[in-house]
Amino acid sequence: MSLPAYAELHCLSNFSFLRGASHPDELVEQAAAQGYGALALTDECSLAGIVRAHQAAKAAGLKLLVGSEIRTADGLKLVFLAKNREGYGNLSALITLARRRAEKGAYSLPRHDLNAVSPNGAVPDCLVLWVPGENPSPEDGRWLAERFPGRLWIAVELHAGPDDAAQLADLQALGDACNLPLVAAGDVHMHVRARRPVQDVLTALRLKTSVFDAGYALFPNGERHLRSRLRLARLYPPELLAETLRIAEQCTFSLDELRYEYPEEIVPAGHTPTSWLRHETEAGLRRRYPQGEPAAVRQRIEHELRLIAELQYEAYFLTVYDIVCFARGAGILCQGRGSAANSTVCFALGVTEVDPARSAMLFERFVSKERGEPPDIDVDFEHERRAEVIAYIYEKYGRERTALAAAVITYRTKGALRDAGRALGFDIARIDALTASLAWWDKREQLPERFAEQGLDPASPRVAKWLWLAEQLRGFPRHLTQHVGGFVMSRGPLARLVPVENTAMAERTVIQWDKDDLDAVGLMKVDVLALGMLSALRRMLAMIGPLALNEIPEGDKATYDMLCRADSMGVFQVESRAQMSMLPRLKPRNYYDLVIEVSLVRPGPIQGDMVHPYLKRRQGKERIEEITPAIDAVLARTCGVPIFQEQVMQLAIVAAGFTPGEADELRRAMAAWRRKGNLARYQDKLRAGMAGNGVPAAFVERIVAQIQGFGEYGFPESHAASFALLVYASAWIKRHHPAAFLCGLLNSQPMGFYSPSMLIQDARRHGVSVLPADVTASDWDSRIDEGGAVRLGLRE
C-alpha cells in the first residue's frame, strides 16, 4: 500500500517536565526519518523547547509548527497551533497569562480567559485542536466552536487499544453533534517506542509514586511515539490523516520571523544611538588616555564602532553603559568581565577595566558577523546592592518589557540515579548511600563498580535497569530556574516574543528561554551579576580612603612577594588550597602572571595537560619549542602552551586559515562538545589547515588533543583579565592595610572560602590587633578604632 502523507500535530518533548520522554531534536530527527510532512511541538503551556526544535528542524529540512497544549481550569484540553506571527504572539501571551497567575512551575487558565489576550477574539490566528476526555460534552464542543469558528478540530488519538473502533465512532458522532471536523493526532510523548520505560519513570515521579504502584496512570502501551506512516494508515481513516496536512499548510509561522526590537535608548537631542555611542566613547578615550590614545587603540575603536553600527547593536551598548553609570552614581562598585573585556569600546565607556589592546584579545570573541548571535556583556555588582540595580532596570523598562532569562536545570548523574531508583522502588536509604558514595570525578563507566561497592549487583536485571534508566535521564531538563542575572529587554511587550512566568522570588519574572535559545533567535541580554569581593573592596577602600579601585598603585613588589609565599587567605580567586599550592610554583611578578594564575588552576588546562608543561617552561626546565613565527607569536605570552580560549581561536586563524567568525564557532563547539559532540568537523579543519601551512604533524595532533581536553572547561583570557585586577587589588590591600582588609571581608560575609574565625586568626598573624565584640562598644559592622585595632561588630 502507498504511504499516506502525515503531519504530527500533538507532540510533547521533555520540556513538558516529567511527561515527555524525548529531547526536541530527537523528535524532529525521527519525524524527518519517518517522512512526515511536518511536526508540531506542543509542550504543555510552554515554548521552552521550541528553539531547540527549530534549530533541529532547519538542519533536517522538516517543517516545524509552533504550538502548545493547554488545559483550562475546568478540564478542557486544547492544542494551539500558531498560523502566523500574530498567532505566535497571541499564543505566547496566552501562556504568559496562564503562568503568571500561578506559582512557579504551575499554570491556571479559566476558560473565559481564552478571550483575554486579544480584543479580536479568542487567541486569533491560532488553529485549535480539542482533545476530548472521557464522556465529552457536546455543550463544550459548541462553546468552543463559538470561540474558534472555522479553526477548531476534534483530535482523534488512537493508540491500538481494544476500544479504538468505539472511540472513533463516538468522536465522529461528537463531531456531527457539534458540526466540527476531525483530524488524526498522536499525543506523542517519545520519539521511539524504546523510550516507554523512561516515560513510565517520569509518570511515576510526577505522581510521587513508584512505577509498580502507578497502575492505570501509566500508558497501556508504547504507541505514543512517532509511528511509521504504514502503522498510521492501519489505524486511521485516510481522510483524518489527510486533514493533518491541510492544517499544517495553514501554519506558515517560523521562529525566523521573530523580529526582535531592542528598546530605544534615550539619547540627547540631535543625536542618534550611533552618534551618541561614538560621542561617549570618544569622551571615555580622553579619560583613559589623557595624552592621546595610541594608534593601535584608535584602529581598534574604529573597527569596533563600524561593526557595532553594521550589526545595529548601539542601543545595547548604551543600555549597559547607562546601567553602569547608574551604579557608579549610586556608589555601587561594578566591573564588566567575560568577553566584553575584549572590547576597546567597553573599556573606553568604563564598562570594563581591562585594556584589550595590551593583551592582544580578539574583539571577534565578543562580536562578529559570522557569529549570528548578539553580544553578551557581563557586569559584576556588589552582591549586597545588586537588588538596587535590578530595581532600576525594572523601573526604567517596565515589568511588561523586561524579565530574567531562564536556566534549564537538567539531570546529572546523582539526580538521575536518585530519581530512577525511587521510581523503581529501591529503598531510599540505599539510594542515598549510593549517591553519597559518588565523587564528581567518577566517570560513567565506573558506576557499576560503585553499585557493587554498595552491595548492588550490576548484573541483576533490576539493578541493570536502574543503571540504564539513569543514563537515559542524564541531560533531561527537570525544570526552569532564573539565570543568575541575565536580563532580556524588548521595545514592546516581552510576552509577545517569548512566554514569561513567575519565579520563586516575588516580583521577579523569567522567560522560558535560556542563554543558548536567546543566542539562536538573536535576543540580547544584559548580565547583572553579584560579586561579594566588590562589596568587600568598596568597604576596604572607604576605610583606607578616599581611594578608588583604579588608583591602587600598580606593580607593588611587596604585594607580589606576599603572593609568591602563598599568603593569600581572603584574596580574591587565589585563596583556595589549589591556588595556594600553585602560587609558589608560578611565582607571579606582574599583572599578566595573575591572569595566568587565575586561569591555570581550572579543569580545562588540567584536563588538557597544559599545567605542567607551562610550569616547566616558565621555570626553564623545558625548552620552549619554536613552531612557526605566527604560532610562536600567539603562544609567546604563555611559554608556548595554549591556556586560553582566545589563543585557540588565534591559532585557528593564523595557522589553519579560519576567519575570526569561524574561530568563534570553534570556541562554541568546544564549549558544547560534551553535550552535542560536534567538535570533530572543526578538528578536521584544523588538521587540514595547519598541515597546509606546514605546521609539524606532532604539534597539530597535540593541539587537537588539547582542544578536546579543554572541552567546556576552557577559560577565556578576557574573563581572567578582569578577575586578575581584583586579585591584585585585594592582595595589595591585604599587604598594606590588613586591618581594613579584615573589616571589609567580615562586613561582607557570607563570601569566600574561609570562616570569620579563620580570617581573624590570619589577620592577627599579620599584626592586626582584634578586639572582641562588645555590646557597649561595638557597632553592627566591624570597624577600625582610633588606635588601629579592629573592633569586631555585633554581626559576628
Q: Using 50, 70 and 90 to split pLDDT, how confident is the model at 371? A: low
Q: Using 50, 70 and 90 to split pLDDT, how confident is the model at 248? A: very high
pLDDT at 1 > cutoff 70 = no
Q: Share the mean pLDDT of the chain.
A: 90
Q: How many Å apart are CA 308 and CA 368, to the nearest integer?
A: 9
Of the two residues 441 and 407, the one the predictor is more confident about is 407
What 3-state DSSP class applies to 166?
helix
Q: What is the pLDDT of residues 123-174, one digit of tens each?
A: 999 999 999 998 899 999 999 999 999 999 999 999 999 999 999 999 999 9
Q: What is the DSSP string of 407-456?
A: EEEE--HHHHHHHHHHHTT--HHHHHHHHHT--TT--GGGHHHHHHHTT-
What 3-state DSSP class applies to 465?
helix
Q: How many Å apart are CA 329 and CA 332, to the nearest integer?
A: 7
Q: Which of 32, 52, 48, 23 is nearest to 8 (CA)?
A: 32
Residues 6+ apart with CB under 8 A from 422: 205, 210, 428, 431
Task: Determine contact, residues 202/38, Cβ cutoff 8 Å.
Answer: no
Q: Going edge to edge, which strands form the sheet with 790-791?
A: 770-771, 790-791, 783-784
Q: What are phi and psi of 11, to 5 degrees?
A: -145, 130
Per-residue pLDDT at 589 = 94
Q: What is the signed CA dihedral for 725, 515, 343, 629, rounded to 10 degrees?
A: 90
Per-residue pLDDT at 607 = 63
Q: What is the DSSP string of 263-277?
A: PPPP--TT--HHHHH
**Matching residue, cell 578615550:** 285
Task: Determine contact, residues 16/188, Cβ cutoff 8 Å.
Answer: no
Q: What is the pLDDT of residues 300-344, one digit of tens each?
A: 899 889 989 988 889 889 999 999 999 999 999 999 887 777 788
- 743 conformational bin, left if phi > 0, alpha if psi -120 to 50, beta if neither: alpha
Q: Using 50, 70 and 90 to split pLDDT, how confident is the model at 35? A: very high
Q: Strand runs (DSSP E) across 295-349, as ranges?
A: 334-337
Other C-beta atoms closer than 10 Å to the C-beta of 558 total 11
As a whole number of angstroms, the longest Cα–Cα distance in the chain is 97
Q: What is the pLDDT of residues 74-120, one digit of tens each?
A: 999 999 999 999 999 999 999 999 999 999 999 999 999 999 999 88
Per-residue pLDDT at 771 = 87
Q: How many Å apart are CA 572 and CA 265, to the nearest integer?
A: 35
Strands 77-82 and 63-71: antiparallel
pLDDT at 633 > cutoff 60 = yes
Q: Going edge to edge, which strands form the sheet with 509-514?
A: 334-337, 377-382, 525-531, 477-489, 402-410, 509-514, 500-502
Strands 182-184 and 152-156: parallel
Helices (H), ranges, 693-775: 697-710, 717-736, 738-746, 756-765
Q: Going edge to edge, which strands form the sheet with 77-82?
A: 7-8, 38-41, 63-71, 77-82, 126-130, 152-156, 182-184
Strands 790-791 and 783-784: antiparallel
Q: How many Å apart are CA 525 and CA 506, to the nearest integer?
A: 21
Q: What is the pLDDT of residues 489-522, one digit of tens each?
A: 888 899 999 999 998 887 789 999 998 899 888 8
Per-residue pLDDT at 231 = 97
Helices (H), ranges, 179-272: 196-206, 211-214, 229-235, 238-250
User: pLDDT above 90 covers what percent of the chain?
Assistant: 60
CATH, domain range 7-257:
3.20.20.140
